[in-house]
């Protein structure tokens, strides 16, 4: 793995800004889409668009209070385009996950596993510390997945502003390294669907001009996630770069373990099930009125036995997802100043 050099010469001549800005717009849009789809790395999208080195340098400059017009424009363009993509498409993606969970989870598994060769290429040749880091990363992610899947309400129902804040930190920190997906971290943490639902609710409220209805999703979801993203980009991302510089092999090993371990939390054959009348759900008794108001995205999940056709379909979708991630990663292979 070649060491990331934030001090490498990058031509930021003001007269040549249109090309980087166009690349930043394309990369930001792709990164926003990537963060909606677990398994696809936002960092890989920026790399494919040819803006990743400038993005990393701009973060480093901003975190050291060095403000340059070119870097601010690149960061702002990436952030605005990513936010627009997320804001516009969060609802449709959430509906697909809720209504076709096993289909989408199967695709997510393939997309996630497609990131393994990207990180492996950075990590080789393998050393003992690499395998040690991989084991720790795998066990950590597998344990998190087990806790989420065995908790009341399943892995898709975690709420709370603090959880949303940590989700923002986790999602943003994953942007820094191509091959690591922030979306799958959110999914395994149990906040993927709640975040998409909150964004969609805010969008619907703003469309109708109902500012009162916009307060709840805005304050409880979008605001804490946004603060977490900001801190994650500025602090955690620099921390990851430090770890890669000082402890390269174990850090890359941990990232490999996280990728493989994430599959445990993406078991496709689970579905949302409406809570029974009279049962206690989220601390309250389920009445007919409350059940009618409860959105399917908030139903608890349960594992089911798949049919032969579903198993075959899942395998095809896993292969398709793996192929898609591989093809996307190849788009950035020949770009100069590659990460890693």
pTM higher than the cut 0.75: no
Q: Domain boundaries in the chain? A: 16-274+285-331
Q: Residue 177: its pLDDT value, please?
A: 63
What percentage of the chain carries pLDDT values higher than 90? 8
Q: How confident is the model at residue 155 (pLDDT cuts 50, 70, 90)?
A: very low
Q: How confident is the model at residue 331 (pLDDT cuts 50, 70, 90)?
A: low
Q: Are 91 and 200 in contact (CB under 8 A)?
A: yes
d(CA 24, CA 99): 33
User: What are the pLDDT digits (tens) for 135-146?
Assistant: 998 888 777 667
pLDDT at residue 317 above 90?
yes
Q: Residue 332: its pLDDT value, please?
A: 52
Q: Residue 18: its pLDDT value, please?
A: 61
pLDDT at residue 252 above 90?
no
**Which of residues 316 and 31 earns the better pLDDT score?**
316
What sign for the dihedral angle of Cα 38, 125, 51, 8? positive
Distance of CA 335 to the CA centre of its chain: 23
User: What are the pLDDT digits (tens) for 43-80?
Assistant: 767 766 767 778 877 887 877 778 788 888 888 898 89
pLDDT at residue 7 above 70?
no
Q: Are 39 and 115 in contact (CB under 8 A)?
A: yes
d(CA 222, CA 220): 7
Residues in the chain: 340
What percentage of the chain carries pLDDT values higher than 70? 78
User: What are the pLDDT digits (tens) for 256-310?
Assistant: 887 787 777 678 888 878 888 877 766 677 788 877 777 776 677 778 899 999 9
d(CA 231, CA 225): 10
Cis peptide before 68 (omega within 30 of 0): no
pLDDT at residue 3 above 50?
no
pLDDT at residue 315 above 80?
yes
Mean pLDDT over all residues of the chain? 77
């Amino acid at each position: 793995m070649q060491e990331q050099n934030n001090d490498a010469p990058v031509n930021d001549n003001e007269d040549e800004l249109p090309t980087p800005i166009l690349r930043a717009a394309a990369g930001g849009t792709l990164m926003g889409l990537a963060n909606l789809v677990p398994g696809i790395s936002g960092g890989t999208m920026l790399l494919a668009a040819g803006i990743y080195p400038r993005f990393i340098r701009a973060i480093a400059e901003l975190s050291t209070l060095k403000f340059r017009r070119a870097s601010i424009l690149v960061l702002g363009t990436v952030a605005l385009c990513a936010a627009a993509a997320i804001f516009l498409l969060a609802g449709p993606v959430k509906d697909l996950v809720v209504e076709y969970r096993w289909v989408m989870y199967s695709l997510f598994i393939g997309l996630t596993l497609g990131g393994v060769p990207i990180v492996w290429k950075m990590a080789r040749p393998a050393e003992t510390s690499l395998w040690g880091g991989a084991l720790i990363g795998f066990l950590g992610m597998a344990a998190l997945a087990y806790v989420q899947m065995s908790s009341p309400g399943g892995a898709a129902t975690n709420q709370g502003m603090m959880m949303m804040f940590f989700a923002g930190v986790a999602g943003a920190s994953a942007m820094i390294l191509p091959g690591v997906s922030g979306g799958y971290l959110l999914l395994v943490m149990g906040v993927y669907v709640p975040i998409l639902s909150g964004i969609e609710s805010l969008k619907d409220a703003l469309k109708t001009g109902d500012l009162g209805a916009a307060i709840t999703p805005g304050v409880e979801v979008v605001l804490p996630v946004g603060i977490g993203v900001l801190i994650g980009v500025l602090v955690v991302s620099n921390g990851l770069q430090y770890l890669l510089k000082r402890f390269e092999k174990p850090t890359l090993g941990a990232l490999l373990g996280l990728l493989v371990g994430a599959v445990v939390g993406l078991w496709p054959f689970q579905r949302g099930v409406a809570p029974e009348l009279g049962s206690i759900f989220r601390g309250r008794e389920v009445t007919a009125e409350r059940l009618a108001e409860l959105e399917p995205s908030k139903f608890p999940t349960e594992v089911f036995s798949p049919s032969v056709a579903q198993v075959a379909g899942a395998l095809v979708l896993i292969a398709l997802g793996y192929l898609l991630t591989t093809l996307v990663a190849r788009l950035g292979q020949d770009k100069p100043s590659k990460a890693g």
